[in-house]
Structure 1
Amino acid sequence: MKPLAKIYNKLYSFYGPQCWWPGDTPFEIAVGAILTQNTNWGNVEKAIKNLKNARALSVKALHELPLHEIALLIKPAGYFNVKAKRLKSFVDFLVKNFNSSMEKMKKEDMESIRKKLLDVHGIGPETADSILLYALNKPVFVIDAYTKRVLSRHKILDYDASYTEYQNLFHKELDEDIQMFNEYHALFVRIGKDFCKPRPLCERCPLSDF
């Protein structure tokens, strides 16, 4: 069995399904992917709750709201002025290119959407791929700091390898399985928070014998 498949099986056996990414709609998931940059999910949940309470969690509402009002609503997520601009840019992109519809966006070829997303202000590879995988159900593996930390500590790939190098490794070794990509990324986040911390707890880690 290839190393990545073996790690996945160990993590899934230990943790079970993660039911990630939380969100009632694809648009809410996309908003969460933008807001979670440089903060924890608890803060994002507070920001999303504010948007819902203000009836602002829609393409139309965010498109029409002034930037400073969006910033106030998402304040719990941190860097709120920066993230407000990023949300606005994403919403403007959605309005202009897909007539405000995540469903229309989903119908386009993955590589084409990804290229367009990466041209949107404030959306990098990790955020773009989170939107593609979790909101649009496209078969792309999301790479984050937890993934790099776990794999580099197990000598699979150097931590300083590029995002593309890490992603290519997953796409080469694993089948194109959207559900598995979803679970695997979430499992990396879980083990990164529980065991593979900056100061790791290796003796109790489910990958200790890997």
Structure 2
Amino acid sequence: MTEPDSEVRPGLRLSFAGVYEALLEAFGPQHWWPADTPFEVAVGAVLTQNTAWTNVERAIANLKDADCLTPGALLEVPHERLAGLIRPAGYFNVKAGRLRALCEFLVRECPDGDIRHLAPRPTPAVRSDLLRVKGVGEETADSILLYALDHPVFVVDAYTVRIFERLGLLEPGLSYGDVQERFHAALPSERALFNEYHALVVALGKDYCKPRPRCGTCPLRGDCPASGTPD
């Protein structure tokens, strides 16, 4: 668990920029996304769907041990074996199919299947192509864009929605695109900023702003309108 600075900061300016500053002060840099290559980031973005990151780490370790963590090598692995390798990540048959679809896309679109060849292309074009890959939704596509390809897009996840609705900075019922646009409009379009901010949101949501929140030790507790639920 990430342990924040215990100081309460009353009077935090409730804004997207203010929340970022408070979380960075409380948690420090998160050094996210942990991966050795851009392709490993993309694989992790698929595997992390509906599961904890610790499970993804085990699945990726299996892929590394099997020496198949490249698009070409992964496509040579039979479906049943691939599903077994990524079993720790859950939904392993579904995710095996999604990984194969992603690899087929990369082999088709990139020389040697190297995902880095997508990086110079315009963000909307790459995002549109990724969203046409079976099993790649908006959050997965944006994770690949931000963390694998260094494009300045803000990744929206369930933590983002829950935290910022509780803070009163988002109204309920907004679409993924609407939420993302709020962040894009409020913050400089900087890859490093979006990278760090998303990681800080995950740290807060995973350990403090849970469905049943741990408000007593939350670094935003002095300013959150929803604060007060017992640990």
Question: Is TM more than 0.5 here?
Answer: yes
Amino acid at match of 2:76: E
1:49 maps to 61
Q: Does 1:186 align with 2:186?
A: no
CA contact (8 A) 2:14 2:169 kept: no
Q: Deviations over 1:59-97 (max 9, x none)?
A: 111122221111111011000000000000000000011
Q: Deviations over 1:156-194 (max 9, x none)?
A: 112321100100000001001111100100111100112
State the alpha-carbon separation in 1 of the partners of residues 29 and 173 from structure 2: 29
Q: What TM-score do you get using the length of structure 1 for normalisation?
A: 0.97
Stretches of structure 2 that go unaligned for 5 or more consecutive residues are: 1-12, 224-231
State the alpha-carbon separation in 2 of the partners of residues 2 and 196 from structure 1: 16
1:21 maps to 33
Amino acid at match of 1:93: F
**Structure holding more helix per residue:** 1
State the alpha-carbon separation in 1 of the partners of residues 172 and 44 from structure 2: 26
- Counterparts of 1:36-185 in structure 2, within 5 Å, are 36-99=48-111, 100-185=113-198
Moved over 3 A (4+): none
Question: How many residues are treated as equivalent by the alignment?
Answer: 210
**Aligned to 1:4, which of 3, 16, 20?**
16
Identical columns (%): 52
State the alpha-carbon separation in 1 of the partners of residues 197 and 59 from structure 2: 26
Amino acid at match of 2:41: I
SS of residue paired to 1:107: coil
2:9 maps to none
State the alpha-carbon separation in 1 of the partners of residues 199 and 173 from structure 2: 21
Q: Deviations over 1:12-55 (max 9, x none)?
A: 00000000010000000110000000000110000000000010
State the alpha-carbon separation in 2 of the partners of residues 204 and 32 from structure 1: 30
Amino acid at match of 1:5: A
Stretches of structure 1 that go unaligned for 5 or more consecutive residues are: none
CA contact (8 A) 1:149 1:159 kept: no
2:5 maps to none
- Counterparts of 1:190-201 in structure 2, within 5 Å, are 190-201=203-214
Q: What TM-score do you get using the length of structure 2 for normalisation?
A: 0.89
Q: Which has the higher contact order (CA 8 A, sep 6+)?
A: 2
CA contact (8 A) 1:2 1:173 kept: no
SS of residue paired to 1:17: coil
